[in-house]
Amino acid sequence: MKVDGRHFRSIWCESDGWSVGAIDQRRLPHEFIIARLTTCAEAAEAIRAMLVRGAPLIGATAAYGMALAMREDSSDAGIERAYQTLVVTRPTAINLRWALEEMRSVLRPLAPGLRTEAAYALAAGIADGDVGINQSIAQNGLPLTEAIAARKPGEVVNILTHCNAGWLATVDWGTATAPIYLAHDRGIRIHVWVDETRPRNQGASLTAWELGHHGVPHTVIADNTGGHLMQHGLVDMVIVGTDRVAANGDVCNKIGTYLKALAAHDNGVPFYVALPSPTIDFGIVDGSHVPIEQRAGDEVSEMTGRTRDGRIETVRIVPEGSPVANYAFDVTPARLVTGLITERGVLKPDRASLSAAFPERIATAAE
Tell me which residues are annotated as active site: 243
With CB under 6 A as the contact rule, the residue among 74, 242, 277, 301 that binds ligand MRU is: 242
Residues 6+ apart with CB under 8 A from 338: 270, 271, 272
CB of 294 to ligand MRU, least distance (A): 12
Binding mask 119-148 toward ligand MRU (x if CB under 6 A, else -) reads ------------------------------
Question: 9 or 254, CB closer to ligand MRU?
Answer: 254
Strand 271-274, strand 237-240: pairing: parallel
Residues in 153-182 at the binding interface with ligand MRU, rule: CB under 6 A: 163, 165, 169-170, 175
Distant-in-sequence contacts of 111-115, Cβ < 8 A, 24+ apart: 112/74, 112/75, 112/76, 113/74, 115/70, 115/74, 115/79
Residue type, 6: R
* Spatial distance between the Cα atoms of 193 and 309, rounded to a whole number of angstroms: 28
Question: 116 or 201, CB closer to ligand MRU?
Answer: 201
Q: Which residue is nearest to ligand MRU (CB)?
A: 241
Q: Rule CB under 6 A: is residue 220 a binding residue for ligand MRU? A: no
Question: 243 or 281, CB closer to ligand MRU?
Answer: 243
* Spatial distance between the Cα atoms of 7 and 64, rounded to a whole number of angstroms: 20
Size of the site for ligand MRU (CB under 6 A): 17
**Alpha helices (runs of H) in the chain, residue ranges in sequence order:** 40-48, 55-72, 76-87, 95-107, 112-151, 177-185, 202, 208-214, 226-231, 257-266, 298-301, 351-357, 359-366
Q: Rule CB under 6 A: is residue 59 a binding residue for ligand MRU? A: no
Q: Rule CB under 6 A: is residue 191 a binding residue for ligand MRU? A: no
With CB under 6 A as the contact rule, the residue among 28, 93, 341, 346 that binds ligand MRU is: 93
Q: Tell me the CA end-to-end span of the chain in Å, nearest whole number.
A: 37
CB of 93 to ligand MRU, least distance (A): 6
With CB under 6 A as the contact rule, the residue among 91, 203, 241, 256 that binds ligand MRU is: 241
Residues that bind ligand MRU (CB under 6 A): 53-56, 93, 163, 165, 169-170, 175, 202, 241-243, 253-254, 328
